[in-house]
Amino acid sequence: MQAFIDFLNGVIWSPALIYLCLGAGLFYSILTRFAQVRHFKEMCSLLFNSNESDKGISSFQALAVSLSGRVGTGNIAGVAAAIGFGGPGAIFWMWVVAFLGASTAYAESTLGQLYKVSENGQYRGGPAYYFERCLGWRWLGVLFALSSILACGVFLPGIQANSVGNAVTQIFGEGVIVSSSFGDVGSTKLVALAVILVVLAFIIFGGIKRIANFTQIIVPFMALGYIVMALIVVFLNLDKVPGIFGMIFSDAFTAQAGFGAAIGWGVKRGVYSNEAGQGTGPHAAAAAEVQHPAQQGLVQAFSVYVDTLFICTATALMILITQQYNIQGSLADGQFIVQNVDPSTIIASPAFTQMALASVFGNSGPIFVGVALFFFAFTTILAYYYIAETNVAYLRRALNINVSLTFVKLLIMFMVAYGTVNTAGYIWNLGDVGVGLMAWLNIVGIIMIFFMAKPTMKALRDYEDQKAAGVTDYTFNPKALGIKGAEFWEKRYDKQQAEKAADK
């Protein structure tokens, strides 16, 4: 199984996908005239629009739900893996992916809003929905739905749970060793798993509203706390900061671990962390109650900045400033290009980050990382559940099959348990397969949508025109813009016009 997963990973994460991710970001950046820069102020102001309804959540709640999916182990353990295998230059390529990926996030999240549906008292949408409604390709919608259920329901939850288990063990030790069918497991990890499963069950059985209410409190609080800790490390070592940035930029092109390793690990972990183009963000974006589809697209573009430019950079600076990292050379010979810490330290884990904070804050540093990782990973599992549930709902309608959502909940909980007690390397490889499959399907799909219909560009121009005209209450008429298949927005516009006529 391990050999097969490694082979599949090599095929999916070939250089073609890496260049496709970068190319799609550049493509939409140019088309939108770098909306991720031009509308930065607008992104921030839209965060505080409160349009929550009985069917939809607010823009900020949708941002929190999508951030809960973006902000996870990729920000702590993933950044460490990027440095450990790709060198400091990998961080530069993570930045590039984030900057370009913000435009991809705008495009896919706007599509999520455009082609969402109202179903059983809540909004649902995502790539499966816009592939069917915009392209008319139900087969692609079904394929993406199956891939996302496989990724978010099976592969990805284990990564988050595995990192939590490792972090707790790093803080409290293994505890009493217990034999199981998965091998020897420490009692500390088993206790952590029990807590995760109980809280997880309570929240996911409450639906998107409970998930949104939980994440809108936890995600901003933990993200801000994590960044503050990083800033303290930076301010205590201000004299080292220019050299660190110089090393990141120089190593990006003359990489210690090789140029291919730097860009490969930087892009892979960048895509894994910020999820731009992966197709996960549009699910939360579709659940938001907004006046215009482009608004939530811009909000989701901002979430990429929060994830990579803020939180991932915070992790990278802490690790590099304190020099608590190794750089792995050839995996075959097991040699290190740079060795600053114990060679037995697991690279694809939170260990580098924990050691970095321990070097500044003592024993409280790793504890904070463990707590942050617990909440980051836990909220990410919630986001994965919502994505899996949404795509199961799509398959139920598209294929007229009756699959219980309770089964999805139990599947997520089983994979969390499985991931917690398994080794990190195997679990990370499974996650890479899931991310890669979704990215391939979604990026190819949204590029095809542009050439066939250009709905995201039409929506952006319409929003910019209304904004320039000083509109305060935005409307959206897809028929007037030549956008087909946006039935939700067609009905909303017709209802608005009918209400205006009745008031006269």
Residue type, 378: F
Give CA 323 to chain center in angstroms: 27
Beta strands in 150-272 (DSSP E): 177-180, 183-186
> Given a cut of 60, is residue 56 above it in pLDDT?
no
> Given a cut of 80, is residue 185 above it in pLDDT?
no
**pLDDT in the model for residue 443:** 86
Give domain status of residue 335, yes or no.
yes
Structure token pair of residue 310: 């803020």
**pLDDT in the model for residue 13:** 73
Q: What is the average pLDDT across 380-398?
A: 87
Torsions phi, psi for 184 (to 5 deg): -80, 130
Give domain status of residue 483, yes or no.
no
Give domain status of residue 493, yes or no.
no
| DSSP conformational letter for 288 | B
Of 38-42, 67-71, 394-398, 463-467, the least confident:
67-71
Torsions phi, psi for 327 (to 5 deg): -120, 115
Cross-strand bridge partners of residue 178: 185
Structure token pair of residue 244: 């660190």
446 near 104, Cβ under 8 Å? yes
Contacts of 69 (CB under 8 A, 6+ apart): 275, 280, 281, 284, 380, 383, 384, 387
Of 68-72, 99-103, 194-198, the least confident:
68-72
Give domain status of residue 177, yes or no.
yes
Q: What is the CATH number of the domain that holds 271?
A: 1.20.1740
247 near 88, Cβ under 8 Å? yes
Tell me the pTM: 0.84
Contacts of 504 (CB under 8 A, 6+ apart): none
Four-CA torsion 377, 260, 317, 349, nearest 10 degrees: 30
Give domain status of residue 489, yes or no.
no
Pinpoint the alpha helices (H) of 323-363: 351-361
Residue 78: give the domain boundaries.
1-466
Q: What is the average pLDDT across 389-398?
A: 89
SS (H, E, C) 370-427: HHHHHHHHHHHHHHHHHHHHHHHHHHHHHCCCCCCHHHHHHHHHHHHHHHHCCCHHHH
296 near 403, Cβ under 8 Å? no
Residue type, 345: T
d(CA 389, CA 207): 10
353 near 318, Cβ under 8 Å? yes
Q: What is the average pLDDT across 314-332?
A: 79
Grouping H, G, I as helix, E, B as strand and the rest as coil, residue 244 is: helix
452 near 135, Cβ under 8 Å? yes
Distances (CA, A) of 243 to 239, 247, 251, 332, 357: 8, 6, 12, 31, 20
Distances (CA, A) of 197 to 8, 194, 229, 334: 30, 5, 29, 37
d(CA 195, CA 354): 22
pLDDT per residue as tens digits for the range 440-479:
888 888 888 887 778 899 999 999 999 999 888 888 999 9
> Taking each helix axis from N to C terminus, what angle separates 259-274 and 15-31, rounded to the nearest 10 degrees?
60
Q: How many CB atoms lie within 10 A of CB 266?
A: 28
380 near 223, Cβ under 8 Å? no
Give domain status of residue 488, yes or no.
no
d(CA 95, CA 268): 12
In terms of Cβ atoms closer than 10 Å to its own Cβ (0-12, 13-18, 19+), residue 426 is: middle
At CA 436, angle to CA 432 and CA 438, rounded to 5? 125
Banded model confidence at residue 195, pLDDT cuts 50, 70, 90: confident
Q: How many domains does the chain have?
A: 1
Give domain status of residue 480, yes or no.
no
Torsion sign, CA atoms 255, 258, 263, 266? negative
pLDDT per residue as tens digits for the range 98-126:
888 889 889 989 999 999 988 877 888 99
